[in-house]
Amino acid sequence: MSIKEIITATNENPVVILQKDELDILLACSTIIKEVDTCLADFIRIFKYNNDIFVQEISDKNEILLRKMNSIEDADKFVKERLDFYDRKWDGCGCKINYYE
């Protein structure tokens, strides 16, 4: 997909699955706001492309997932919730994330 197709897909779907080369191209044209190593599922990133805010993460199926967010605050909240989940998972809670919601 081209960047334009990726952006259109994020407007139409809550989660878009990217290929590695698509992510690399998108990140090269974006400003990374936050990047955190989850220690369980690679990095989770908040970045800005044009005026849009996105969160990118890796699923338990090793898929690159992209979500368009309404604001940096919403993206920060999403990332915090993910990181809290990963902390609990280290404790052996047995909980699972539905990455596709």
* pLDDT value of residue 42: 82
Q: Angle of helix 3-12 relative to helix 20-28, nearest 10 degrees?
A: 100
pTM for this one?
Answer: 0.85
* 23-38 pLDDT per residue, tens: 999 999 999 999 998 7
* pLDDT value of residue 39: 75
* 46-87 pLDDT per residue, tens: 999 999 999 999 988 899 999 999 999 999 999 998 888 877
Asked whether 64 and 58 are in contact (CB, 8 A), the reply is yes
